[in-house]
């Protein structure tokens, strides 16, 4: 079936990641998520679609545990509980999400060819902004020059 919607788990690859996490022991789950994010965050390679889909799913799981995050709700996401993920995964997830929308990303090219491309990019940015919020613009200067 491939991809059926824009959610982090709305494609075959991400649904497989969820299944793999469900089958893994509790102790293995954090390292599986870390491995997926590291692979996607590596700037040396062109990011192929399956690696990007895995990274978005893994990042959504990290976001779900952030105090400002939303649950990674999906019929296709993991059904088994995850361990408390370490805070350092947040920075790694940001790097992976940056690579997902980068010009050296196959999935970004594919989404940009669709009418839903801008909405997909907004969804990725929304996930990223939970982990690394943008600095709001200041209305006034803090001091005179």
**Cα 63–54–9 angle (5° rounding)?**
65
Which of 111, 107, 129, 128 minimizes the C-alpha distance to 120?
Answer: 111
- Residue 75: what pLDDT? 80
CA–CA dist 25, 42 (Å, integer)? 26
Q: Report pLDDT for 140.
A: 67
Separation between Cα atoms, residue 75 and residue 7, nearest integer Å: 11
Whole-model pTM: value is 0.90
- How much is the pLDDT for 4? 81
Within the chain, where are the H helices? Answer: 12-23, 26-41, 49-65, 88-100, 106-112, 117-131
Distance from C-alpha of 55 to C-alpha of 97, rounded to nearest angstrom: 7
Mean pLDDT, the chain cut into blocks of 10 residues (145 residues total): 84 95 97 98 92 98 93 82 96 98 96 96 96 78 62
pLDDT of residue 28: 97
- Model pLDDT, residue 44: 85
């Amino acid at each position: 079936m491939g991809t059926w919607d824009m959610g982090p788990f709305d494609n075959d690859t991400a649904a497989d990641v969820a299944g793999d996490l469900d089958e893994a022991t509790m102790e293995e789950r954090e390292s599986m998520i870390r491995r997926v994010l590291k692979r996607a965050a590596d700037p040396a390679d062109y990011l192929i679609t399956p690696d990007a889909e895995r990274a978005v799913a893994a990042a959504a799981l990290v976001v779900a545990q952030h105090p400002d995050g939303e649950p990674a709700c999906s019929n296709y996401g993991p059904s088994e509980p995850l361990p408390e993920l370490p805070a350092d995964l947040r920075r790694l997830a940001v790097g992976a999400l940056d690579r997902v929308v980068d010009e050296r990303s196959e999935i970004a090219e594919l989404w940009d060819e669709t009418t839903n491309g801008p909405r997909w990019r907004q969804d990725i940015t929304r996930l990223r902004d939970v982990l690394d919020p943008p600095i709001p613009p200041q209305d006034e200067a803090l001091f005179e020059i």
